[in-house]
Structure 1
């Protein structure tokens, strides 16, 4: 009991320190306290009040184009999968067999039936149990009583979102303000062309914050995009309760960074403006007039984060004869930039453990980090 009380006190102390920092005006705001990134007790609060209650992005709907296409994911400790069913709809289910509770599907792929790898119980694409070897010999068994639990699943702008929260407002209404901001891009029609998964040795929030601010570009990315990054070109407006964002307007080095000549949706400066979107808690998107790339984060403990990394093209570029070559060039650059980011965020994670570590003032370009901290402070302890 004493250990539980100490843990609770630790959680409260960290949340209190976070909230006190967030009560400062942005002009006097500091980075989040080190324990936010290192405390197991704080992660337990995040799991309870964020990951088990919020809408979480798990991937791109265009990646599940055909009947039986699926992807697997996690909502905290709950394995889930999303698939395209026989009617063409996207559906999500618990990814746990109803027999001896093995995980059913791994990664991505295509199936006609969902077959348990342990005892071959198998389910149709609507989650109903179709067959179970030898179970007809068991008098108490009734196949019709078994159906995989459904998980709430909705799409927004071509992204797949899932949640365990029965009371969460529809994701479309949750992100309606962001929909208006980025409407001219037509992101819902962008097509995914690559997808990878990685695990880095850092706290998930350090990686999220790294994406949210471009203040680090000239230094951390000095060997790649840094020399082309003009901090004075960046705009960091105040965020919203569900997301933050900032804009960079410039001529892109690759044609796919600007609007395609046949793109009639974007006009004026929007034809060369990039939007960097951080959708709370873990969906990070770089959206340009010609392509997008994204990160989706899933903590695997305090010091490890699973990353879904992908990207693709605006519809005008999908059939452009040179688009594949441009995308390959971009992917090479993104890989180099990610390697630099990995070194940076893993170094920060080592640093926040230091006894003398102390958060300093945020720069004007770190407004998104301030908004992210306020989001966390408002969520934790709210349920």
Structure 2
């Protein structure tokens, strides 16, 4: 495969009108050259979600994330501020901390160079006789880090507009939920054997629910009632209004914020490039994706309840039932998305026409084409 093939095929697919749209070509999922373009043009430039701020409640709490080849540590400092730094020691360039936890200081596991929660080097054993060494001149590079509606975002782009500016439209759209007050009850990390775009596309369309999720949520999904509006510049979305399969899917009786149909409406949001949110009146769950090669995707998976359900005497039961359901749904999604990636690698693989219920995939394809190939998107329909 030539390096130009995925670009040429993607531009051709993105240029098709919606009513005759097809899925993205296999080459954009399987080409290592195209993946490198995605890392350079998307993941090293965009805001990427790493989790909820509530998962770092105490001074010294931290989590790690690898963003476009840059290991990052996100932590709560002594001033109770959430900050992000390069997670690479300034001595021999080992990564410093792994996973998540709590640290009073960050100690490199290689030679015990020690950094404070402000990134400043505090200690370096056996360096006093090294001419020119000055401990005060060593500070971990800071990574841009912002909070938005309770989520933490990081970016490697120093000039990128703020998260709040880029997501202003979606914030206005979901303001009535007040998701910033929802409480995260679990956060996990996983790796699946599929391409990151396959998993993202799986999230942003509900067309597959009755089939892939027949044993769980599929039976509660009425496809004819789903609304898939045109996407906007930084996100796409669709709505589902229904009686929920879980009590926590509709508004709690104590919820006075939501009225009318909003008490039964779920928002499914894809915040580009890879923050995927299901937001209901009573609970939320989300994924944040990052490629690990063409055939693997690293995933942050988290979720929790609205404040009314968290204050309910049955809160523990509600959390348990939500987590049990989502684990089953994820198992189903993993099977479906890994099958898709295996199929994409077949010589006979060809993209078929998209359903109108897959409108978000069409918008996502044009976003990918814009970022990687210079495609010009139009938002005339979204403005009407």
For normalisation by structure 1, the TM-score amounts to 0.96
Determine helix, strand or coil for the equivalent of 1:173. Answer: helix
Instruction: Choose the corresponding residue for 1:214, options 206, 213, 217.
Output: 206
Q: Which residue of the partner structure matches residue 96 of structure 1?
A: 88
Contact 1:256-1:323 within 8 A present in 2 as well: no
**TM-score between both structures, scaled by the size of structure 2:** 0.96
Q: Distance in 2 between matches of 1:279 and 1:155?
A: 14
**How far apart, in 1, do the equivalents of 2:42 and 2:33 lie?**
14
Please report how far the alpha carbon of residue 382 of structure 1 lies from its aligned counterpart in structure 2 after TM superposition.
Answer: 4.6
1:54 matched to which residue of 2?
Answer: 46
**Equivalent residue runs for 1:154-303 within 5 Å:** 154-303=146-295
Contact 1:30–1:362, Cα closer than 8 Å, also in 2: yes
What pairs with 1:24-39 in structure 2 (closer than 5 Å)?
A: 24-39=16-31
1: CA distance between counterparts of 2:188 and 2:244? 25
The alpha-carbon deviation at position 342 of structure 1 amounts to: 0.6
Determine the C-alpha separation between the residues in 2 that align with 1:12 and 1:188: 43
> Is residue 137 of structure 1 aligned with residue 125 of structure 2?
no
**For residues 111 and 373 of structure 2, what CA distance do their matches in structure 1 show?**
41
**Corresponding residue number in structure 1 for 2:382:** none
Aligned pair partner of 2:358 in 344, 363, 366: 366
After TM superposition, the structure 1 stretch with the greater mean CA deviation from structure 2, 94-103 or 19-28, is: 19-28
2 CA distance for matches of 1:137 and 1:92? 32
Q: In 1, are the aligned partners of 2:217 and 2:245 still within 8 Å (CA)?
A: no
2:50 counterpart SS class: strand
SS of the residue corresponding to residue 135 of structure 1 reads coil
User: How far did 1:137 drift?
Assistant: 2.5
1:305 to 288, 297, 301: 297
CA offset at residue 241 of structure 1?
A: 1.3
Q: Tell me the number of residue pairs that the alignment of Structure 1 and Structure 2 aligns.
A: 375
Q: Per the alignment, in what secondary structure is the counterpart of residue 287 of structure 2?
A: strand
List structure 1 segments (4+ residues) > 4 angstroms apart after TM superposition. Answer: none
Shift of 1:321: 1.0
The answer as to 2:328 corresponding to 1:342 is: no
- Report if aligned partners of 1:291, 1:312 keep a CA contact under 8 Å in 2: yes
Shift of 1:256: 1.2
In structure 1, C-alpha distance between the alignment counterparts of 2:270 and 2:41, rounded to whole Å? 19
Question: Do 2:237 and 2:269's aligned partners in 1 also have CA atoms closer than 8 Å?
Answer: yes
Indicate whether 1:333 and 2:325 are aligned: yes
Contact 2:121 2:138 in 1 (8 A): yes
RMSD: 1.2
Separation in 1 of the partners of 2:161 and 2:4?
28
Q: 1:23 Cα shift?
A: 1.4
- Matched-pair contact (CA < 8 Å) for 2:22–2:353: yes
Q: Is the 8 A contact 2:43 2:68 kept in 1?
A: yes
Q: Once the 2 structures are TM-superposed, how far is the Cα of residue 96 of structure 1 from its aligned partner? A: 0.3
Q: Distance in 2 between matches of 1:13 and 1:177?
A: 35
User: What SS does structure 2 have at the residue aligned with 1:188?
Assistant: helix
Alpha-carbon offset, residue 24 of structure 1:
1.4
Q: Which residue of 1 aligns with 2:369?
A: 377
